[in-house]
Amino acid sequence: MNKYIFLLVFFLSGCSMLSFADGSINYGYDKSNDLIYAKKDGKEDVLKFIEDYTGNPSYSYDFFSGSPAIIADSRSLHDSTVYATLKYNDNKFIIDCLYLNVKSKKNGVLVKKGFCSLDMSPAKNYADFIEEKVGKTEDDMDSIDTGLILSGKKNYLPIVI
């Protein structure tokens, strides 16, 4: 009887592992052809992406917390670094998460935000999507008056954006 229970448990544990198994996806960037690629089960899909270190913002490809990411780095009235993590799902690239680090040179406010489960598609519109999210954050930041801290009337200023 114990032998049959052991076999049943062994079989069920194997089935559960197989049901959760998903083909692994390998991500990378082909600089010579300006393509981000995702390889899964011998198939490859690509997203056109050109690394640009000369513009403002500059765009590059790297990994963020183990996920492939488009990085937008900007220096102007607001300094910002944005990580847009990519995910390959249903045979297309999507922007899954967006992590913002924006500092205002106008009032000194620094904002760090993260948005996940965005499922923004198509990912090829990454520049417009990033610019829209950063612009909204910058507008919110600029509406904050830090004059009370700068004049010494307050020691801290709680800010919720």
Place of tokens 């083909």: 23
Domain membership flag for residue 97? yes
Count of structural domains within the chain: 1
At 98, list the tokens. 């967006």
pTM for this model (two decimals): 0.77
Q: What is the DSSP letter of 56?
A: S
Confidence tier at 160 by pLDDT (50, 70, 90) = low
What's the domain range around 130?
54-144
Domain membership flag for residue 91? yes
Per-residue pLDDT of 95-132, as tens digits, reads 999 999 999 988 888 999 999 998 877 788 899 999 99
* Contacts (Cβ under 8 Å, ≥6 apart) of 138: 78, 80, 102, 104
Give CA–CA dist 50/29, Å, rounded: 10
Domain membership flag for residue 66? yes
Indicate the range of 13-17, 95-99, 126-130, 156-160 predicted with least confidence: 13-17
Confidence tier at 2 by pLDDT (50, 70, 90) = low
Section 34-57 average pLDDT: 92
pLDDT of 143 reads 86
Confidence check: pLDDT of 1 > 60: no
Domain membership flag for residue 6? no
Domain membership flag for residue 157? no
Q: What angle do CA 16, 19, 25 make, to 5 degrees?
A: 130
Domain membership flag for residue 93? yes
Handedness of CA 95, 36, 93, 125 (dihedral sign): positive
* Number of helices and strands in the chain (H, E): 3, 8
Domain membership flag for residue 10? no
Domain membership flag for residue 42? no
Confidence check: pLDDT of 134 > 90: yes
